[in-house]
Amino acid sequence: MTLSDIPTGGKCMIVKVHGHGGFRHRILELGFVRGEVVCVLKNAPLRDPVEYEIMGTHVSLRHSEAAKIDVVSLSEEAHPDIDKDYHGTIEEHVRHEVEQLSKEITVALVGNPNCGKTSLFNYATGMREKVGNYSGVTVDSKIGTFYHRGYSIHLVDLPGTYSLTEYSPEELYVRDFLDNHELDVVLNIVNAANLERNLYLTTQLIDRNQPMVMALNMYDELQASGDRLDHEALGKLLGFPIVPVIARTGWGIDNVLEAVVQVYEGTATEMICHNPAHQHQHGPAVTHHIHINYGREMMAAIDEVKDLIKLNDDMRDVIHPRYLAIKLIEHDRTTMRMFEHCNNYSDIIAAADHYKEVFEKEYDEDITSVVSDLRYGFIRGALGETFTPAKHQQKTEMGYALDKVLTNRWLGFPILFCFMFLMFEVTFVLGAYPQEWIETGIAALGDLLREQMAPGMLTDLLVDGVLSGMGAVLVFVPQILLLFMFISVLEDTGYMARAAFIMDKLMHRMGLHGKSFIPYIIGFGCSVPAVLAARTLENPRDRILTIVTVPFVSCSARLPVYLLLVAAFFPHHQAVILLGIYLIGLAIAILTSLLLSRLRFKQQDNPFVMELPPYRIPTLRNTLIHTWDKAKEWLQRVSTIVLLASVIIWALGYFPHHENSTLATDNTETNTVAAESQQLENSYLGRFGKAIEPAFRPMGLEWRAGISLIAGCAAKEVIASSMAVLYGIDRYDDDNQETLATRLTTVTDADGNRLFTPLAAFCMMLFVLLYFPCISTLATIRKEIGRGWMWFSLLYSTTIAWLLATAVFQIGMLI
Q: Does 217 interact with ligand GDP (rule: CB under 6 A)?
A: yes
Q: Does 137 interact with Mg ion (rule: CB under 5 A)?
A: yes
Number of neighbours of residue 589 by Cβ within 10 angstroms: 24
Bin 19: left if φ > 0, else alpha if -120 < ψ < 50, else beta: left
Cβ 515 to Mg ion shortest distance, Å = 16
Residues 473-492 that bind ligand GDP (CB under 6 A): 492
Encoded amino acid at 74, one letter: L
Cβ 247 to ligand GDP shortest distance, Å = 4
Cα distance from N-terminal residue to C-terminal residue, the chain: 78
Q: Whole-angstrom Cα distance, residue 54 to residue 64?
A: 18
Q: Whole-angstrom Cα distance, residue 185 to residue 214?
A: 10
Region of 135-143, 181-189, 231-239, 259-267 interacting with Mg ion (CB under 5 A)? 135-143
Q: Does 532 interact with ligand GDP (rule: CB under 6 A)?
A: no
Give the residue among 452, 461, 469, 553 at the shortest CA–CA distance from 507. Answer: 553
Cβ 247 to Mg ion shortest distance, Å = 11
Give the residue among 717, 715, 741 at the shortest CA–CA distance from 727. Answer: 741
Give the residue among 672, 671, 711 at the shortest CA–CA distance from 689. Answer: 711
Q: Does 704 interact with ligand GDP (rule: CB under 6 A)?
A: no
Residue 132 binds which entry of ligand GDP, Mg ion, none, with Cβ cut-offs from 5 to 8 Å by kind? ligand GDP
* Beta bridge mates, 61: 50
Among 28, 71, 90, 137, binds ligand GDP (CB under 6 A): 137
Residues 225-254 that bind ligand GDP (CB under 6 A): 246-248
Number of neighbours of residue 265 by Cβ within 10 angstroms: 18
Q: How far is CA 189 from CA 226, 410, 613, in A?
A: 21, 37, 16
Q: Whole-angstrom Cα distance, residue 232 to residue 449?
A: 71
Among 70, 184, 207, 221, binds ligand GDP (CB under 6 A): 221
Residue 113 binds which entry of Mg ion, ligand GDP, none, with Cβ cut-offs from 5 to 8 Å by kind? ligand GDP
Smaller CB separation from Mg ion, 186 or 579: 186
Region of 16-24, 129-137, 507-515, 753-761 interacting with ligand GDP (CB under 6 A)? 129-137
| R_g over Cα of the chain | 33
Q: Does 115 interact with ligand GDP (rule: CB under 6 A)?
A: yes
- Within 8 A by CB and 6+ apart from 715, the residues are 557, 637, 641, 642, 645, 774, 775, 776
Q: Does 43 interact with ligand GDP (rule: CB under 6 A)?
A: no
Label residues 530-549 b or e (16+ Cβ within 10 Å = b). bbbbbbbbbeebbbbbbbbb
Smaller CB separation from Mg ion, 227 or 491: 491
Smaller CB separation from ligand GDP, 111 or 431: 111
* Secondary structure string (H, E, C) spanning 776-787: HHHHHHHHHHCH
Smaller CB separation from Mg ion, 246 or 764: 246
Q: Does 131 interact with ligand GDP (rule: CB under 6 A)?
A: yes
Q: Does 138 interact with Mg ion (rule: CB under 5 A)?
A: yes
Q: Whole-angstrom Cα distance, residue 71 to residue 568?
A: 71
Q: Does 119 interact with ligand GDP (rule: CB under 6 A)?
A: yes
Q: Does 87 interact with ligand GDP (rule: CB under 6 A)?
A: no
Q: Does 116 interact with ligand GDP (rule: CB under 6 A)?
A: yes
Binding mask 61-100 for Mg ion (x = CB under 5 A): ----------------------------------------
Q: Does 119 interact with Mg ion (rule: CB under 5 A)?
A: no
Among 21, 160, 469, 712, binds ligand GDP (CB under 6 A): 160
Which residues contact ligand GDP by CB under 6 A? 111, 113-119, 131-133, 137-138, 160, 217-218, 220-221, 246-248, 492, 616
Which residues contact Mg ion by CB under 5 A? 117-118, 137-138
